[in-house]
Structure 1
Amino acid sequence: MSRNVLLSVAAAGVAFAAALPAMAAVPSLAPVVEVVQSAVVAIEVEPVALPVARDEPKTLPRKSPFDSDSFFKREFGQHLPWPPGVPAIPDDQLRKHGGSGFFIDADGHLVTNAHLIGQGRDIRIHTTDGDVLEATVIGQDRQSDIALLKVDVEHAVPYVTFADSDAVRVGDWVFAIGSPYGFRGTVTTGIVSARGRDIGAGQYDDFLQIDAPINRGNSGGPTFDLTGHVVGVNTAIYSPSGGSVGIGFAVPSNTVRLIVADLMDDGKVDRGWLGVQIQPVDKDLAAALGLDESRGAVVTDVSEGSPAAAAGLRPGGVVIAVDDTPVRGARDLARQIARTAPGEEVALTIWRDGSEDTVSVRLGRRPGADLAAHPATPEGPDLGLQLGQDDGDGAVIEQVQPRSPAAAKSLLPGDRILKVDGIPVADANDATSRLTEAWKSEQRFVVLEVARGFEIRFVALRLRHA
């Protein structure tokens, strides 16, 4: 290569380097880590004993975007969203497991993952200064995988605050703090790899994808921006082996902020309910309906007696905006409605027959029942199920709590309970009533007739131990 060519290449390299943003020297994270690290804690949970289920295979979520040879795993090696085949726990055996969390105020409230807490009997918080504190559960929201805990403190504790996750950009530097494999206070760094990830964990999926190494024990811990504000709560990893491969997922801080405020109020999350079935709008459907691009969510069915029915919504219309906020797709509509409290009125922009129309809808409270919000009490069984209404007969399983009797029997979100002990159930409330009656009558088992697609099977759930 001639000297002139070498000089030209060198000059081009200098010009390219000069054109890059000023990022040659990445600043040390030590100053900000020193400020926030004391607010991050290790969490130790002692679960209740569960029935044995050794013959149930592990399966991926049916809507997983990855092939069946891959694994989506939470930090404790479970499949996403809630595993139908978690490792069996004998009746006489208890197993401790651990994760991470962080204080959000000086009074001792802290945030972690709901899948970590589950049905935990004893929850202990290990602080950076060596204190071990007993925590109580204020509330859990399984659909977002966020739990709010509280410890009694005699003095103010260090805490961190949330960032605006809507302002986070792909490529932004972040760092995570947690207790991977029990190594407390571990700091890892990376960038935001993607936004709005749908990983098949639920209908409200909207994860930040980060490449900061996250492993077992990081679950429930924070991911920070470079100013020391929390941009997300680490909740899942993609891993063929169980260890980090640089693909982690965090619940965005703006979502966490809303969930925590709701849990702080009354220990539960109330989401708005519209009462429609929807599907995405692809390019061909958009062209057929006269839309300029693929956007919105087309209504395929309207539930009888729902807020949507009362407002006059009909199948075939496309919801393209909620309160003037554009709807990007079906999941975006579900998230926007869920973020609105029951009883509030929203303005839906509907595209139908080549023109827009605005319809006001007062949202309702989603029908359904939760059979695992807290550990079992004399008022009802702890089966690990959250039920919802079905358009036909029966009760649809919306969520399955990890390490629960329902998870041990491989029940999945989307399964439909048709009968309880041979008696048909009309809806979620009916199913809940019959299960509670069986519990109060001191039955040890209850037999469910469950439909999954065109397949029907019988499942025996343990209500209590001998």
Structure 2
Amino acid sequence: MKNSKVWKLPAVAIATLLAAYLPIRGRAQQAPEPPAPPAPPEASEIVPPMPDMIDLDAQLAQIGMGSAWMGVTIEEVSEDKTKELKLPAVRGVLLTEVQDNSPAAKAGLKPGDVITEYDGERVEGTTAFRRMIRETPPGRTVSVTYWRDAKSQSVSVQLESRQDEMQEAIQKAMPHEFVYRFGVGPNMFPDMPMMMGRTPRLGVEAIDLSGQLGEYFGAPDGEGVLVTDVLADTPAAKAGLKAGDVITKLDGDRVHNVGELRAKLVEKHEVKSVTLTLLRKGAEMSLAVEPQQPAPPKPSVSTGRHMSI
């Protein structure tokens, strides 16, 4: 199916599915003649096909994670920190962490250093610095001026591709939001109340942001909801959401993870439209979305289940 996305399931989930569905299939095979009528159009079989592994490289490329990577965690330079480090001005970015074997580590940068210039351009703060990194092609060597031991120093840093470094982080996060193949139309996901509740649908697949992944996308406190895919002809697609967007608020309420976003959507089930605050390429913006209301419960056979929003 064109718009279906599939993720690799843990062994426990596969075992649970087999235990639940195989007895049903066995009973169906022993049914007397004449055979049961064909399944409704939206259902192809009782047992959903076991999902394959998603093309993670393609997914990462889609959300712009093949960009340059330095391997540092940064924060703004405060006035107190300026005085403590004897900086000449309140600007730059403070390195709070330097990842092992990263471009920054290989160049000799350390936690506590303050980057003040990047490739000849003055660094005013974290937003500007993230933009500079994003706009630099992977593999390029740049000059970095930094402040250490009350004096300015310079070093050359060869940036690397972020895709390899972030692939492991995405793979660790994805089991939290696995998906099955699913059907389309007004009767999508009819039998999910036990797992998901009657949640209004946006039409996106998403994962939690945290740590280095959240830092890269510029999420407040490193937390938020990263959109990894927007399904066609859904409320999210119509509103203009894109893969790579980071949802941080719903109707002004802070959203830290997928669970919170889903809970807030349930709270808004009687509201026609909600406002999502999100980050796109480091810039904050808002979009009005009209969530798809869940179909009323009905006994039916579905093509599968999923954990998208």
Q: TM-score, normalised by structure 1?
A: 0.27
Identify the structure with the greater strand proportion.
1
Name the structure, 1 or 2, with higher relative contact order (CA <8 Å, separation 6+).
2
Q: TM-score, normalised by structure 2?
A: 0.39
Identify the structure with the greater helix proportion.
2
